[in-house]
């Protein structure tokens, strides 16, 4: 690309010998660069194979019944992934339902150009800081500080107010789906806020000003200009956050309660795909048990890849191929 | 007139809701940091925290020297693998990657970014732990290296694309071959972004726990041999937190504070570096 310009500018006889010599270096360097590019593809391929091949014993033995099976009993070599899949989906859903209004609300604020500049800098910094905090630290906090609060305050309150719904029935231990969902909300908040802010910031200023000039209030401008314009991109941001929530391991493992069961109540103990793997992988004996855990990992990887690809497509469509943060 | 009042009221309500959202978004990080500092500081200042290895319950003293050394060594080896490879891929993407191979690489690296961190541990388990027959620090390094690659290569690409095209053309017009222009003109100009990306990737790797669970495994004793199981700060936090002894739980808080300090300092350093380069 750039070389083409140089060749056009420098007359051919002048280039001659020297060009040929430099071509050797260029060829080596170009080869290295292309090699590095191919290396990434190779790593991704090996990555997939490293998940698929060890899962084969479990796939051939259980087939489809693995995905719909409700029993997870390593002692009797009975493996069904449904409790873990259910737990993963429920905790992620709870996390996103909590994080969505907070994240998008904060993003609308952060993307505005006028006023309140004093708060915006520290806010962006706080959100970036939250993104940088290791998940095990968030798990530690959740395990010691959040679970007692959930047990004595939040869960009984929800049970009192909304107890007629099966979702909020039963007694609370402080662990389980709801607590894990709150933890996930905290963990996806930074990425959801940052991405939504980037998306909302692309709403042309002229559109906003036109709406305000026509007499719309700021709330009406948000509703009828910003949200329709940014909807696709924000959907992408939500999907990326979902991908993050689905795969979050350590913090969830510390508060989910690690019980392979399917309960309607959000106060019940559960299990998620990553936390089964984290808990049981090192003690899994035998090809079948290990294979079952590999198959869980494979299911998890396939779900997150689908979610991520969808998200990237939406965001790419929105930002026209510009690389996005995070 | 009454409609106007409703509209204004609605506007105020939405403004208030957004303010609440901003507050709710900022609160978790403040509360979290507060607790980590309050609960972690006494343990961190305890004698022996930095100079002794883990002591089992009942034996007084003890620290996290084994974990600090482990984190440094595991992340160090991972960086030695990931930084050269990652920046080379970034160079490929920005200088040679305006084609379908480049787009494929970008896409694959984005997909890798989105994969759960525990999957990287499983990958390293299959290719290294299962084949070697034992847990090892080096397998953890490989897991973290693959986890770091997408961050580094994206940062490198972004930084190199920002280098003005006129610089490249000036170099080429002076007769320098393309590889020298890339290495001696473009890369130095983009160095700030590349270093920042590498630092941020290292910080992220230092805080990861899930990829270490079945690779480095953890080790209560000081271990320097990368072919043996090794401790790490993140593993100390995770394991000690789940033990029923308060003294060891306090050590988990202290280790968490140390981890936050390391990660936070690396982030701040990266930002300062960017600012100095940009000036």
Closest Cβ–Cβ partner in B123, B176, B252 for A50: B123
Which residues in chain B have their CB less than 8 angstroms from residue A312's CB?
107, 110-111
Phi, psi of B217 (to 5 degrees): 70, -40
Complex ipTM: 0.93
What is the pLDDT, as a whole number, of residue A22? 55
Assign A24 to helix, strand or coil.
helix
Q: Could you tell me if B103 and B121 are in contact, meaning their C-beta atoms sit under 8 angstroms apart?
A: no
- Does the pLDDT at position A19 exceed 60? no
What domains are defined for chain A?
A: 58-319 (1.10.3720.10)
Mark yes or no for CB contact A37/B112 under 8 Å: no
Beta-carbon contacts of residue A25 (< 8 Å; ≥ 6 apart): B177, B179, B180
Closest Cβ–Cβ partner in B119, B127, B130 for A297: B119
- Does the pLDDT at position A18 exceed 80? no
Phi, psi of A260 (to 5 degrees): -75, 75
Which residues in chain B have their CB less than 8 angstroms from residue A145's CB?
35
Which residues in chain B have their CB less than 8 angstroms from residue A135's CB?
207-210
Mark yes or no for CB contact B267/A143 under 8 Å: no
> A139 to chain B: nearest residue by CA?
B238
Give B106's Cβ-side CA count (13 Å radius).
Answer: 24
Identify the CATH assignment for B65-278 out of 1.10.3720.10, 3.40.50.970, 3.40.50.1370, 1.10.10.10: 1.10.3720.10
Beta-carbon contacts of residue A266 (< 8 Å; ≥ 6 apart): A90, A94, A167, A168, A176, A177, A178, A181
DSSP string, A229-259: HHHHHHHHHHHHHHHHHHH--HHHHHHS---
Mark yes or no for CB contact B179/A54 under 8 Å: no
What is the pLDDT, as a whole number, of residue A171? 82
The rounded distance, in Å, linking the Cα atoms of B8 and B13 is 9
Which residues in chain A have their CB less than 8 angstroms from residue B32's CB?
130, 133, 137-138, 141, 186
What is the pLDDT, as a whole number, of residue A14? 47
Which of B25, B26, B260 should one mutate to test binding to chain A, selecting the residue with the greatest count of A CBs within 10 A? B25
What is the pLDDT, as a whole number, of residue B279? 60
Closest Cβ–Cβ partner in B116, B172, B259 for A300: B116
Tell me the whole-structure pTM to 2 decimals: 0.91
A227-252 pLDDT tens trace: 999 999 899 999 999 999 999 999 99
- In whole angstroms, how far apart are CA B144 and each of B25, B65, B137, B208? 29, 21, 11, 8
Question: Given pLDDT bands bounded at 50, 70 and 90, which one contains residue A326?
Answer: very low
The one-digit pLDDT tens for each residue of chain B (279 residues) are 688 999 999 999 999 999 899 999 989 999 999 999 999 999 999 888 999 999 888 888 889 999 999 999 999 999 999 999 999 999 999 999 889 999 999 999 999 999 999 999 999 999 999 999 999 999 999 999 999 999 999 999 999 999 999 999 999 999 899 999 999 999 999 998 899 999 999 999 999 999 999 999 999 999 999 999 999 999 999 999 999 999 899 999 999 999 999 999 998 888 888 777 766
Nearest to A248 by CA among A44, A92, A90, A81: A92
**H-run or E-run covering A311:** helix A287-319
Domain ranges of chain B: 65-278
Assign A72 to helix, strand or coil.
strand
Q: Which of residues 96-135 of B touch A (CB under 8 A)?
A: 96-98, 101-102, 104-105, 107-119, 122-123, 125-127, 130
Mark yes or no for CB contact B238/A139 under 8 Å: yes
Beta strand extents in A54-111 (DSSP E only): 72-73, 78-79
Task: Tell me the average pLDDT of chain A.
Answer: 88
Beta-carbon contacts of residue A311 (< 8 Å; ≥ 6 apart): A236, A237, A239, A240, A242, A243, B114
The rounded distance, in Å, linking the Cα atoms of A96 and A89 is 11
């Amino acid at each position: 690309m750039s070389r083409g310009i140089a060749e056009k500018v420098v007359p051919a006889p002048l280039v001659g010998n020297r060009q040929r010599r430099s071509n050797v270096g260029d060829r080596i360097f170009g080869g290295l660069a292309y090699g590095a590019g191919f290396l990434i593809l190779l790593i991704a391929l090996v990555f997939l194979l490293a998940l698929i091949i060890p899962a084969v014993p479990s796939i051939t033995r259980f087939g489809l019944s693995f995905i719909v099976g409700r029993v997870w009993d390593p002692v009797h070599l009975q493996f069904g992934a449904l409790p873990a899949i259910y737990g993963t989906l429920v905790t992620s859903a709870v996390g996103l339902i909590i994080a969505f209004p907070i994240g998008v609300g904060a993003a609308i604020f952060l993307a505005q150009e006028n006023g309140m500049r004093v708060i915006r800098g520290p806010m962006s910094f706080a959100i970036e800081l939250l993104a940088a905090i290791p998940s095990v630290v968030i798990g530690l906090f959740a395990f010691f500080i959040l679970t007692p609060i959930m047990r004595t305050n939040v869960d009984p309150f929800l049970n009192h107010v909304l107890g007629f719904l099966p979702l909020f029935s039963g007694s609370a231990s402080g662990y389980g789906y709801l607590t894990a969902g709150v933890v996930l909300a905290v963990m996806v908040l930074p990425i959801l806020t940052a991405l939504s802010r980037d998306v909302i910031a692309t709403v042309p200023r002229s559109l906003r000003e036109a709406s305000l000039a026509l007499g719309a209030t700021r709330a009406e401008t948000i509703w009828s200009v910003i949200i329709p314009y940014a909807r696709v991109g924000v959907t992408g941001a939500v999907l990326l956050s979902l991908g993050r929530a689905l795969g979050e391991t350590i913090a969830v493992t510390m508060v989910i309660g690690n019980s392979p069961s399917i309960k309607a109540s959000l106060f019940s103990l559960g299990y998620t795909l990553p936390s089964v793997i984290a808990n049981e992988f090192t003690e899994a004996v035998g090809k079948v048990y290990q294979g079952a855990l590999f198959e869980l990992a494979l299911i998890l990887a396939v779900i997150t890849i689908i979610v991520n690809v969808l998200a990237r497509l939406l965001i790419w469509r929105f930002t026209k191929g510009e690389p996005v943060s995070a | 007139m009454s409609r106007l009042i409703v509209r204004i009221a609605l506007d105020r309500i939405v403004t208030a809701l957004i303010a609440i959202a901003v507050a709710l978004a900022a609160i978790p990080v403040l509360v979290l940091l507060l607790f980590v500092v309050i609960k972690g500081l006494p343990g961190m200042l305890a004698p022996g925290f930095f100079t002794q290895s883990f002591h089992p319950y009942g034996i007084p003293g003890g620290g996290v020297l084994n974990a600090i050394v482990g984190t440094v060594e595991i992340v160090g080896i991972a960086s030695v693998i990931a930084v050269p490879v990652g920046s080379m891929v970034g160079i490929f993407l920005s200088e040679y990657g305006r084609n379908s191979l480049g787009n494929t690489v970008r896409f694959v690296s984005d997909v890798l970014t989105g994969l759960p961190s525990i999957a990287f541990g499983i990958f390293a388990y299959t290719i290294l732990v299962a084949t070697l027959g034992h847990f090892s620090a080096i397998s953890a390094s490989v897991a973290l290296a693959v986890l770091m690659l997408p961050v580094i290569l994206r940062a490198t690409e972004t930084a190199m694309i920002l280098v003005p095209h006129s610089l490249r053309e000036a170099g080429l017009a002076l007769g320098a071959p393309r590889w020298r222009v890339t290495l001696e003109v473009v890369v130095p100009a983009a160095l700030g972004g590349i270093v920042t990306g590498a630092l941020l990737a290292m910080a992220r790797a230092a805080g990861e726990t899930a990829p270490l669970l079945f690779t480095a495994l953890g080790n209560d004793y000081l271990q320097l041999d990368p072919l043996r199981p090794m401790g790490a700060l993140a593993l100390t936090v995770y394991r000690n937190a789940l033990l029923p002894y308060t003294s060891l739980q306090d050590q988990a808080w202290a280790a968490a504070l140390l981890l936050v300090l390391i990660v936070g300092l690396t982030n701040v350093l990266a930002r300062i570096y960017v600012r100095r380069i940009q000036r």
